[in-house]
Structure formats: structure tokens, C-alpha cells
Structure 1
């Protein structure tokens, strides 16, 4: 059950098991963990093609792509698609594949499906990820930035509604209201799994999450929890910078930054059962932790 002490206590256990499983695999064979991720990314590209087929052949093709199977929401679907799209882009940047054309070919259906969801959050996250890759990769990341800038220019000319039709989607008003409610219990928050209601003038519906992971942490765990949360990401990114010449860390850091950037305007359920939010938070973090622990074990005499 989602409610009750037993159900809530399982959630951090799920996260721990994710970290432990990735670490055990990496310590046994680091390449095995990366191959599993690569196979998952290939399957995701195939799934994107299937979803695009159903999207364009169904009667509701004019609406936003939701996805099939367990996918039930365009925004949540974009978390999954964006994660694997970032993987292939990072694989191209880091030259992780033998053939440069393979990551590009596999990233294209994921990017097309991402655009079909109508979510702008992953597009912004991809831009910020490309900027992060500059100190990690160097000149090769400039090609990605130029490509994204060109694609944005084409979208502004050919399909301006794709980026502009929904404005800021009431995000500033929502975040202001979330900060106001957070200020009522600023230091330790309202408590984990607290329920919130955000009534935004002009929106017409009541929202129950702030559409920002960091604000969700602030609301539930206060400044103390948010400080620990930011420290966790700070240590992770510092570790990636220290290992920026290692291709595995370059790729993993791209997934970290993508998830962190996407969480600035979407997502809120930061400690949940395994779901779409894990592609923004716990999967990238567990990957970096596993690679780091594996490297330290290998360096020991």
C-alpha cells in the first residue's frame, strides 16, 4: 500500500536496493553494468518507434503523445524518453560507440517521440546538459550546442506553437505559492509524504505538487533536507568532474545533469516506488555511485 508506515518505509529500501544492485554488478564487471544500460537504451529507441507509430496512426494523433503500456502521462513519458535520448547523445559525445552514426540513429526516434509529448522540460534539460558537457568533453560538445540552437531556430520559424503556445504554464505562480507554504515550516518542512494544494489564479484546477523536485524537498524536509539534497548532488558532480577524462563518468554525468535540469520544472515525488521519476533521480545517481565504488576497489593494491 502507498499509505501507512510500512508502505512508506519500503521506499528508501527500494532506493538502497537500486544503489546496491548497481554497485554489485559494477564491482563484478563494470562493463556488464554499462552493457545493460546500453541494451536498455536500444530497447527504448525501439519502443519510441512503436509509440510514434501508434501516435500517428491513432484517431487522436493531433494530441500529445502519452505512450503505451505503463506510460500514462505525457510529462512522465518524457522523463523516460529524455533519459535514453540523453544517453545516446552522451554516447556520441564520449565516442562510446564504435560507429559515430549509431548513437545518432538511435537518438532520433527518441527525440521525435520526446517532441511529440509536447513537454518542453526535456528540451531545456538537453540544452543545459550540452553546456555541462563542454568542460567534460571540450570542443565536440560545441557541435551539439550548435545543433540544438539550429533546431530551436527552425522550430521558432516552422512551428512556433511547439515552444510558445503554453507560455510558462503558470510555473512562476506555482513556485511562489510553494515557497509561501514552505516558509510556514521552513527548517524541517511539513513532513515526508505530506499533502499539498496549490490554487493558482487563472489555472482553474488545484495542483498537488510544485512541479519542481527541489521545491518538493523543501516543502517536505525543509532547509535541512534541501541542504542535504544539494550536498548529495554537489558531491556527485564534483566526483564526475574529478573523473572527467573517463568516458564512463562523462556519460553518467550527462544523465545526472539531465535529471537535475528536468527536475527544475517537472517531477516532485523524489522518494517513491520505482517509477518514471527514477529516470531523473535515482538511476543516474546509482550509476555514478556504482562506477565510483568500482573504481576505488580497482585502484586498491
Structure 2
């Protein structure tokens, strides 16, 4: 089979690393998007026909998850009928991007979960390098004051969304420390760079989402390492409040309650249809105008009505269900933390579910895609169990 060839697996593996790391390291967003076409969309489309049995298995093993995704994409497309979107064709193309992105993961699963975890570690390590370069460039080269909010390189330049990306990499690295002493030092350095990026971004929502996830992670990891990380997170949070409370409290609630109330009124005005996919809107709150709802779920409701929001909630809950089924594995535990982190992160700023691949995809479609790998991981564990039981 074509999809089983080594060159095909290398091609797809490179695509996953490109998706993770090039969002920061690519010279421009245009090159990042072109790389996704070359390394993810193109190989997936080329290999899809020969991989028909794999895609059929993906549907059979996770029918609820795939069904909810397809219903959400169908409703999103239907909403273009009443949308005032400037370019409906572009919106349809973005929906196709999402579907092709998710179809990539059953193909990636053929590499084995051990290799997938290695690719995630490589992508996260490259993001740690991007975090270090961002700090040096912003405060060293540009000479910005240390109290200025860090703006990263590439597409992690937005302080909040960039921290969502870096926070994802922290969770991929944190619970898989290397065994070799030299690599352990590099691992600690990578975590330190990403931790510094998060703190210097002053993105309270992103930091809070990451801190809460690490603090409660011992509930499902149940080991000494996660407990140690949890204690360190509590101590670090306490020190931050003690040392820089004025800086933390300076921006208050950033008008989030006022924005939420205004958005609820907007949803009530079009509860069943929403404004339609891709329709531009502004939120007026506290005498100010904001260009989105600063919350993933309410954003979906504004665009696609309550049916769209409920379908996205179904996708998200079915993703959780698949992860919980794999909670006995290290990868399943890491994904459970990633899901909790993403859920919290969505509440504070993310408001792009169907846009082109960007930082928000790290806390929306990436967790869904990674959950689609899990059936093959369970099959690997079952096979290993049978082998060990017969020896």
C-alpha cells in the first residue's frame, strides 16, 4: 500500500512537525501556509485513496466523533446561505482544510504512537527554540523594556495566542523527561525558555489555563513527577501573586464580563441561525468595540447559532470520551491534560474555529486530531498484551 511506504510516512511526519514548529519559525505566514499544503494537505490527498481501509477503520472505531465533526462542517457550510461573508468560496475552502487536516491523523497513526510522541517532542523542542529567539529579539535586539508584553516571532506574535501555542508545547514536553543526563539538561532548558515566554507575555488567561492543568494533573497521572510539577506550579503561582500582584491586576478583567453579556444579547438576536459562517461582527461593550467575542463557544454561537455551538460542544465532548478511554496510557494522560488546558484556554480569547491554520488550531483542531490517533494506540497495547501473555 502506498501509505505504508517509508517515504510516505516521512512526508506525513514532516508535515506534523511543520504544523507545530513552523507557525513560529517560518519566515512568514504565507510560507507557513504553503508548507502545510506541501507537507500535510498534499500527501494526505495523494495517499487517501490507497489508505481507504484506514479511513474506513477510523470511521468504524470513532463513529460518534467523526459524525459530529461532519455534522458541524455541514452546518457551517449551510450557514453560508444566510451569511454576509465577503468570500463564501474561501470559507468553504477553509472547511475542506479542516477535514483534510483531521484525515491526516488516521494516516499518521500508521507510524505508531511511539513515533508520533517523538514527533510531538521534536516540534515542541523547536518551539522552545522559537521562545528563546523571541525573548532575545524582543528585549535584546529591539531593546524593549522588561515590563513590555512579549511579542514572539512569526505567528506567535500575539501575546495571548502565542502563549497558547507555547503552553501546548510545555504539556507535550513536561511529562516525558528523557533518561539521559545531558538530554535532561536540554529538557529543563527548553521548559525554562517556554516558561519565561509565558510569563513575559503577561497573558493571564493562558498562564492560568496552563497552571490549573499542571496543578490538577496528578488526579490522572498518579505519579511522583506530576505531583512535583503540581507543587512547583502552586509555588510559582503564589510567588507571582506576591511579587507582581500590581502588574497582574493592572488590566483588571479586560472587559471580559461586559463582552460576554453583550455577546449573549447578540446570540439571542439570532439564536438558531447565527450571522453565518465568516460574517464579520463587532462587539460593543463598556463603550468600546471589540472584533470578536473572546470566547470560542460564544464565537461559534454568534456565527452559527446555538445549533453550531451545540455541534462543536459534541465534537469536544466526544474528543474527551476518546481520551478518557485511553487514560491508562501515557499518551492518553498527556492528551487529557491537553484537553483540559485547551478547554480553559478557549474561555479567554480564542475566537477562530474555521479560519486558516493558526494559533487557535492548537487548542481546537489539534486536540481533536490527536484523539483520532488513539484507537490505533489501543490496538498496539492489545497486541503487546497478547504477545506478553503468550510468552
Output the TM-score relative to the length of structure 2. Answer: 0.70
1:225 aligned partner: 308
User: 1:181/1:90 Cα in 2 relative to 1: closer, same or farther (>3 Å)?
Assistant: farther
Whether the 8 Å contact between 2:205 and 2:348 is mirrored in structure 1 is yes
Q: Which runs of 4+ in 1 moved over 3 A?
A: 99-105, 139-142, 293-301
Find the counterpart in structure 2 of residue 238 from structure 1.
321
Change (3 A) 1:146 1:71: closer
Superposed CA RMSD in Å reads: 2.3
Which residue of 241, 251, 262 corresponds with 1:177? 262
Query: In 2, distance between residues paired with 1:273 and 1:215?
Result: 19
Q: Distance in 1 between matches of 2:380 and 2:303?
A: 36
1:187 counterpart SS class: coil
Q: 1:219 to 1:99 in 2, by over 3 A?
A: farther
Q: How does 1:218-297 map to 2 (within 5 A)?
A: 218-293=301-376, 295-296=378-379
Deviation digits for residues 168-225 of structure 1, max 9, x if unmatched? 11000001100110011113322111222112225xx411201000111111122212
Structure 2 residue 255 is matched with structure 1 residue 164: no
1:105 correspondence with 2:189: yes
Look up the match of 2:294. 211
Deviation of 1:238 after TM superposition, in Å, equals 2.0
Work out whether 1:193 is the aligned partner of 2:278.
yes
Higher relative contact order (CA 8 A, sep 6+): 1
TM-aligned CA distance change 1:126 to 1:23, over 3 Å: same
- Match of residue 135, structure 1, among 189, 212, 219: 219
Structure (1 or 2) with the larger CA radius of gyration:
2
More helix by share: 2
Q: Which residue in 1 is equivalent to 2:110? A: 27
Displacement of 1:289:
0.9
Q: For 1:23-80, what per-residue CA distance to the aligned partner results, in whole angstroms no more than 9, with x for missing partners? A: 2021233322222111111111111111111222122234211112333321221121
Instruction: Give the secondary structure class of the aligned counterpart of 2:254.
Output: coil
Contact 1:209-1:268 within 8 A present in 2 as well: yes
User: How many residues get paired?
Assistant: 294
